[in-house]
Amino acid sequence: MISEKANIEIEQVSESRLAEADLDNPGFGRIFADHMFEMEYRDGSWHSPTIKPYGTIEVEPALKVFHYGQSVFEGTKAYYVGDDTVNLFRPEKNIERMTQSCRRICIPPVPPDLFLQAIEQLIKLDHRWVPQKEGNALYIRPFASAFEPVIAASSADVFRFYIITSPVGSYYSKPVKLLADQHHVRAARGGTGATKTAGNYAASLYPVQQAKDKGFDQVLWLDAIEHKYVEEVGTMNIFFLIDDLLVTPKLSGTILPGVTRDSVIQLARHWDVEVEERAVSIDEVMEAGKQGKLREAFGTGTAAVVAPVNTISYNGETVTIHEEERGALGQRLYDEIYGIQTGKKEDPFGWIYPVTVHS
Ligand SMILES: Cc1ncc(COP(=O)(O)O)c(C=O)c1O
């Protein structure tokens, strides 16, 4: 079967695996829907866009992606609205960011129209995999990687682009404990910190493991030059409510320009909350915490939407914020964004891309 718009060839599964999946308790990123999208770049262009059954791929061990990490990815979600509609949230932002990520590490970007159609087709086919339970969603993971089997540290000239999808539950069930790392660095100016390249995540694994061993959930990254300014957290951007001011590190090329971050800033400003995007020193945060002025801290990202932070430790000192629950602003932002995503609240910013599906 060939789809008219983008000539995506579709090979459907003969039997769905849906009956084996527990969509109410899927965990995160562990089970995958029936189909995946696949396309190859060769001889100077992307070709043969195909949707096929999700499954193993056979590759050569010499692929450049294994050795030099030439790989980028994205993450967005599809939300159940009703039996005939699934919502995507600002998918064009993810597509635009993936284009930037691709450019930074010499992967030819996927044409944006085709990218969006691929997601849409996949969602139409696998819409029954979108969980209906409150807080759960179908995570969409596009990625592009170097598929040329040559041992040479240079850009590949063969790539593959995939989209896989995974029913997921909520990412952080409890408030998050952060350790501001004084030694390790996630990204430096001029590096790849503003892109979703695989290597950024590989570099963070060891420091995060060390923080976990000490009882923390995540590292709060500081800047690479002075180890003084707050950057971001694992897979989230970070916000602090100091008195009545919402502050977040500005986009300076070392942190990821989060889609949720941008949505939080727009919403807060819409509600007349004063928002500052600027350099935020860890000393300012700790001082505000000690003086009782740090009313809230939360991370923002596709996985958790808004995740409350209740502990920040730095240089042997710890400040505690909201021991058990979310702060009022974080909760309001979560309710609003999740409400918009699931079609329960109005969408004044035009963030929703609805996909009509047929049962
Ligand atoms: C390093 C990093 N920062 C921030 C974010 C949050 O970005 P978004 O809101 O687009 O999910 C993510 C997740 O994609 C991330 O991996």
**Residue 180 CB–ligand 1 contact under 6 Å:** no
Strand 245-249 relative to strand 274-278, pairing:
parallel
176-341: what CATH class? alpha beta
For residue 326, what pLDDT is reported? 81
User: What is the average per-residue pLDDT within 45-58?
Assistant: 97
Of the listed ranges 36-45, 49-58, 315-324, the one predicted with least confidence: 315-324
For residue 171, what pLDDT is reported? 73
User: CB–CB of 81/343 below 8 Å?
Assistant: yes
From the CA of 234, give the closest atom in ligand 1.
1
Q: Whose CA is nearest to atom 6 of ligand 1?
A: 301
Q: Whose CA is nearest to atom 5 of ligand 1?
A: 236
HEC readout, the chain: CECCCCCCEECCCCCCCHHHCCCCCCCCCCCCCCEEEEEEEECCEEEEEEEEECCCCCCCCCEHHHHHCCEEECCEEEEEEECCEEEEECHHHHHHHHHHHHHHCCCCCCCHHHHHHHHHHHHHHCHHHCCCCCCCEEEEEEEEEECCECCCCCCCCCEEEEEEEEEECCCCCCCEEEEECCCCCCCCCCCCCCCCEHHHHHHHHHHHHHHHHCCCCEEEEECCCCCCEEEEECCEEEEEEECCEEEEECCCCCCCCCHHHHHHHHHHHHCCCEEEEECCEHHHHHHHHHCCCEEEEEEEECCCEEEEEEEEEECCEEEECCCCCCCHHHHHHHHHHHHHHCCCCCCCCCCEEEEECCC
For residue 264, what pLDDT is reported? 98
For residue 174, what pLDDT is reported? 83
Q: Whose CA is nearest to atom 13 of ligand 1?
A: 235
For residue 323, what pLDDT is reported? 62
For residue 322, what pLDDT is reported? 72
pLDDT grade for 172, boundaries at 50, 70 and 90: low
For residue 358, what pLDDT is reported? 85
pLDDT grade for 3, boundaries at 50, 70 and 90: very low
Domain ranges of the chain: 9-168, 176-341
Q: Whose CA is nearest to atom 7 of ligand 1?
A: 258
Q: Whose CA is nearest to atom 2 of ligand 1?
A: 235
For residue 170, what pLDDT is reported? 81
User: What is the average per-residue pLDDT within 170-197?
Assistant: 92
Q: Residue 182's closest CA among 134, 126, 226?
A: 226
From the CA of 263, give the closest atom in ligand 1.
9
How far away, in angstroms, is 306 Cα from ligand 1 center? Answer: 11
User: What is the average per-residue pLDDT within 315-333?
Assistant: 88
pLDDT grade for 2, boundaries at 50, 70 and 90: very low
pLDDT at 306 over 60: yes
pLDDT at 4 over 60: no
**Residue 69 CB–ligand 1 contact under 6 Å:** no
**Residue 260 CB–ligand 1 contact under 6 Å:** yes
pLDDT at 219 over 90: yes
How far away, in angstroms, is 258 Cα from ligand 1 center? Answer: 5
User: CB–CB of 163/74 below 8 Å?
Assistant: no
Write down the architecture of domain 9-168 according to CATH: 2-Layer Sandwich (3.30)
How far away, in angstroms, is 262 Cα from ligand 1 center? Answer: 11
**Residue 261 CB–ligand 1 contact under 6 Å:** yes
**What is the overall mean pLDDT for the chain?**
95
User: What is the average per-residue pLDDT within 199-222?
Assistant: 97
**Residue 301 CB–ligand 1 contact under 6 Å:** yes
For residue 324, what pLDDT is reported? 60
